[in-house]
Amino acid sequence: MDTQKDMHCAEKLSIKLLKAVLLCACILGVLLSLVQVFLDAHLSNADIDRKAREMLAMIHDPASRAAYRHDSDMGQEVLNGLLEMKSVQVASIRMNDSSMLAVVKRPFFASRYRLLSDYIFDPIRIYRQPLYSNEPGKIQFGELILSIDTAHKGKAFIQRSVVVVFTGIIRAIAMALLMYMIYSTLLTRPLNRLIHHLSSIDPEEPGLQQLPVPEGNENNELGLWVRTANKLLTSINYHQSLRQKAEAHIMRLSQYDYLTRLPNRRTIQNKINTFIHKAKKKHENIAILCLGLDDFKSLNAQVNFNVAEHILVKVSDRLRNCIGNKAYIGRLGEDQFAIIQSKIEQPYEAAELAQSLIKQLDRPFEINSEQLTISATVGITLFPDDGEDVDTLLQQAEFAMIMAKSRSHNRYQFYVATIDTEIRQRKRLEMDLHRALENRELSLVFQPQFNYQKRQMVGAEALLRWNHPEKGLISPDMFIPMAEHSLDIIPIGDWVLENACQQLHQWHLDGFQNLRMSVNLSAIQLQDDKIAERIAFLLNKYQVPPDALELEVTETSIIKDLEASKIQLQNIKSIGVGLALDDFGTGYSSLGYLKQFPFDKIKIDKSFVEDLPYNRENCGIVEAIVQIGKSFDLKVLAEGVETVEQETYLAKKGCQEGQGYFYGKTLSAHDFISLISSQGVLSGNTQDRQGDNNV
């Protein structure tokens, strides 16, 4: 029962007040009326007696005379006079010898109040008066008897009483209502308003709202009550805020490390738990890194306690800054920190974070104007591969860190050895790739492209090769994403472009002017604002006609930022080079962007060319792509053509060009020229190439 609405009507103070006042007033009204009635009864009673005696006194003398004379007529006459009075029922003169000298009588007064009035006044009252002679001896010779019927008096009395009681009650009710109204105006209504205000107060912050003092009650008990309540509310608020601050402080103390202000072990465990729950639902991977400072114990022994704490604070600051919002960091205890990296796709992302954390500590720390070098070792576990619960994962990360420390310092190690080796190899390969260009390990090979209408080779796609000094040839599918990740693709891609242009220039010089060169352009290169400028420069440098160069971009590389890619491609297109959409069908294949982008050609991905014409599904896809090409006025080239059946089918369906092992595997520049020479595609002119582009 929290509000007035919830209150049962009978429970309301106003109703109780009304009931009490009414009841008291009624009782009091009835009591007072009864007293009045009682007094009236008493007076009426006395009045009956008084009147009877007056009557007796009035007729005493004539009645005495009649009795003295034994004059019955006279007696009768005297008594008749009494009958004038309504209340006289019987009057008689009785002689000493008990004989009646005279009697008058009238019937009883028929009254409906009789029952009650008889009870109060008795039905009949008899009065006697002795009759004496006037002589000095005063001899009694008879008696005057008067019988009074009280019903007349009783009737009047009862009627009066009813009026008295009735008006008494009415008066009392009126008074009660008046009192109730006064009470409710002065008390209940202001109280209700106060309750209304009280219930609108926010229990979280009771001091924000004060109760208003009801008007006109500033200096009475109500005003005092409100002021006291307001003081109480303010005080509750104050203490509540103190308590909240204290709670928050305790919470901080229990969740965060007092020194570095990083989350403590318990909080980290909770956090890992939360991450695990989320990751399970979304099938994501998490890396847990345990970073321990190398030789911190011996450092601790060398410097005093304060310095050691100072170092820990500085280390944690650097780690926190390095991590930013990429991961979640906390202090496990002493010189150990835990870092949670959620939503990772590849273990090497964790390796990279570990590497960058280790690197952060490379710079020496300046403590008390002394330079201190501190290194760290990181152990890494992966969810769900290495474990599915917090304790296992943390334990394994710590174990991996200890294992790593036992081998050497300042490094990271994965809990699972195979991942560790894999990542290490990958990292080494990345470093090797970084130097591949200057070590001249990169080269270009060329794959012919065949035109079905002309039945001849019309160009080549330049494909990059990396000949690793130890590992031999490494697939571009492996190293291109690596180069994109490390951004080495920028110098490498530029090298490819320049060499392809140079090679094409050479072929043109050698008499193959109708040859066209396709070069793959990575998403990263496409983000470079100066790419169009660079292409124009290279075309000019190697005297390559713009339409002899074709750039291949994939759907995935333009989809990341459609607007920016559109502008870049339009800039490239404005130079006059051709644009091909590579691996068509494997990405988003949204027709929307085909319309907006200045492509000249789409390349059907080799996965759709497989098993043609036997694979019905692929037949349908190829037909659809050719149709799209027609509608958007784009040439269509099929990749991965390996058999004559595939060629026949593709040509029949309307593909203009094909590329694949059927026409030639990837060849060196020299072998490529030998191949096309052997097929009789010796030389041509620019006109041919343009015509070819327009097919």
Enumerate binding residues for Ca ion (CB under 5 A). 520, 552, 582-583, 639
From the CB of 433, what's the least distance to ligand C2E, in Å? Answer: 13
From the CB of 482, what's the least distance to ligand C2E, in Å? Answer: 12
Which residue number, 413 or 646, has a Cβ lying nearer to ligand C2E?
646
From the CB of 352, what's the least distance to ligand C2E, in Å? Answer: 22
Which residue number, 267 or 502, has a Cβ lying nearer to ligand C2E?
502
Which residue number, 237 or 520, has a Cβ lying nearer to ligand C2E?
520
The beta strands (E) that lie in 295-418 are given as 328-333, 336-344, 365-367, 370-372, 376-383, 412-414
From the CB of 468, what's the least distance to Ca ion, in Å? Answer: 22
Report how far residue 560's alpha carbon sits from residue 75's, in angstroms, rounded to the nearest whole number.
144
Instruction: Select from Ca ion, ligand C2E, none the partner in contact with residue 480, using the beta carbon and a kind-dependent cut-off of 5 to 8 Å.
Output: ligand C2E
Dihedrals φ, ψ of 125, to 5°? -120, 130
Which residue number, 439 or 687, has a Cβ lying nearer to ligand C2E?
439
Which residue number, 230 or 456, has a Cβ lying nearer to ligand C2E?
456
From the CB of 580, what's the least distance to ligand C2E, in Å? Answer: 10
From the CB of 664, what's the least distance to ligand C2E, in Å? Answer: 9
Paired residues of 292 in beta bridges: 336, 377
Residues 6+ apart with CB under 8 A from 250: none
Report how far residue 200's alpha carbon sits from residue 183's, in angstroms, rounded to the nearest whole number.
25
Question: Which one-letter DSSP state was computed for residue 576?
Answer: T
Which residue number, 420 or 552, has a Cβ lying nearer to Ca ion?
552
Question: Which residue in 589, 544, 548, 596 sits closest to 570, CA to CA?
Answer: 596
From the CB of 537, what's the least distance to Ca ion, in Å? Answer: 23
Instruction: Select from ligand C2E, Ca ion, none the partner in contact with residue 102, using the beta carbon and a kind-dependent cut-off of 5 to 8 Å.
Output: none
Dihedrals φ, ψ of 259, to 5°? -85, -55
Residues in the chain, total: 695
From the CB of 609, what's the least distance to ligand C2E, in Å? Answer: 8
Asked if 289 and 341 touch (Cβ cutoff 8 Å), the reply is: yes
Distance of CA 207 to the CA centre of its chain: 26
From the CB of 329, what's the least distance to ligand C2E, in Å? Answer: 36
Which tokens sit at 3? 């509000």
Three-state secondary structure call for residue 30: helix
Distance spanning both ends of the chain, measured CA to CA: 87
Instruction: Select from Ca ion, ligand C2E, none the partner in contact with residue 476, using the beta carbon and a kind-dependent cut-off of 5 to 8 Å.
Output: ligand C2E
From the CB of 483, what's the least distance to Ca ion, in Å? Answer: 15
Residues 6+ apart with CB under 8 A from 632: 594, 595, 599
Instruction: Select from ligand C2E, Ca ion, none the partner in contact with residue 464, using the beta carbon and a kind-dependent cut-off of 5 to 8 Å.
Output: ligand C2E
Residues within the interface to ligand C2E (CB under 6 A): 447, 463-464, 475-477, 480, 493, 496, 520, 522, 582-583, 606, 640, 642, 660-661, 666
Report how far residue 210's alpha carbon sits from residue 539's, in angstroms, rounded to the nearest whole number.
81
Instruction: Select from Ca ion, ligand C2E, none the partner in contact with residue 522, using the beta carbon and a kind-dependent cut-off of 5 to 8 Å.
Output: ligand C2E
Instruction: Select from Ca ion, ligand C2E, none the partner in contact with residue 645, using the beta carbon and a kind-dependent cut-off of 5 to 8 Å.
Output: none
Residue with tokens 């004539």: 62
Which residue number, 81 or 476, has a Cβ lying nearer to ligand C2E?
476
Instruction: Select from Ca ion, ligand C2E, none the partner in contact with residue 496, using the beta carbon and a kind-dependent cut-off of 5 to 8 Å.
Output: ligand C2E
Distance of CA 667 to the CA centre of its chain: 62
Report the residue closest to Ca ion, judged by CB.
Answer: 552
Which residue number, 349 or 639, has a Cβ lying nearer to Ca ion?
639
Which residue number, 269 or 554, has a Cβ lying nearer to ligand C2E?
554
Three-state secondary structure call for residue 447: strand
Instruction: Select from Ca ion, ligand C2E, none the partner in contact with residue 12, using the beta carbon and a kind-dependent cut-off of 5 to 8 Å.
Output: none
Paired residues of 293 in beta bridges: 376
Which residue number, 496 or 634, has a Cβ lying nearer to ligand C2E?
496
From the CB of 556, what's the least distance to ligand C2E, in Å? Answer: 10
Question: Which residue in 142, 150, 68 sits closest to 100, CA to CA?
Answer: 142
Please list, residue by residue across 409-423, b when 16 or more beta carbons sit within 10 angstroms of its beta carbon and e when fewer do.
ebbbbbbbeebbeeb
Distance of CA 393 to the CA centre of its chain: 31
**Burial category of 372 from C-beta neighbours within 10 Å (exposed 0-12, middle 13-18, buried 19 and up):** middle
Sign of the four-CA dihedral 503, 504, 510, 516: positive
Question: Which one-letter DSSP state was computed for residue 110?
Answer: -
Asked if 552 and 580 touch (Cβ cutoff 8 Å), the reply is: yes
Asked if 625 and 586 touch (Cβ cutoff 8 Å), the reply is: no
From the CB of 463, what's the least distance to Ca ion, in Å? Answer: 7
Report how far residue 426's alpha carbon sits from residue 486's, in angstroms, rounded to the nearest whole number.
12
Instruction: Select from Ca ion, ligand C2E, none the partner in contact with residue 642, using the beta carbon and a kind-dependent cut-off of 5 to 8 Å.
Output: ligand C2E
Instruction: Select from ligand C2E, Ca ion, none the partner in contact with residue 576, using the beta carbon and a kind-dependent cut-off of 5 to 8 Å.
Output: none
Instruction: Select from Ca ion, ligand C2E, none the partner in contact with residue 286, using the beta carbon and a kind-dependent cut-off of 5 to 8 Å.
Output: none
Residues 6+ apart with CB under 8 A from 596: 562, 566
- H/E stretch holding 148: strand 140-149
Which residue number, 350 or 462, has a Cβ lying nearer to ligand C2E?
462
Which tokens sit at 582? 């590579």
Which residue number, 405 or 573, has a Cβ lying nearer to Ca ion?
573
Instruction: Select from Ca ion, ligand C2E, none the partner in contact with residue 661, using the beta carbon and a kind-dependent cut-off of 5 to 8 Å.
Output: ligand C2E
Instruction: Select from Ca ion, ligand C2E, none the partner in contact with residue 408, using the beta carbon and a kind-dependent cut-off of 5 to 8 Å.
Output: none
Which residue number, 39 or 473, has a Cβ lying nearer to ligand C2E?
473
From the CB of 640, what's the least distance to ligand C2E, in Å? Answer: 4
From the CB of 261, what's the least distance to Ca ion, in Å? Answer: 52
Report the residue closest to ligand C2E, judged by CB.
Answer: 660
Which residue number, 188 or 586, has a Cβ lying nearer to Ca ion?
586
Residues 6+ apart with CB under 8 A from 386: 392, 393, 396, 415, 416
Question: Which one-letter DSSP state was computed for residue 214?
Answer: P
Instruction: Select from ligand C2E, Ca ion, none the partner in contact with residue 475, using the beta carbon and a kind-dependent cut-off of 5 to 8 Å.
Output: ligand C2E
3-state helix/strand/coil string of 159-171: HHHHHHHHHHHHH
From the CB of 595, what's the least distance to ligand C2E, in Å? Answer: 24
Which residue number, 267 or 586, has a Cβ lying nearer to ligand C2E?
586
CA atoms within 13 A on the CB side of 508: 23
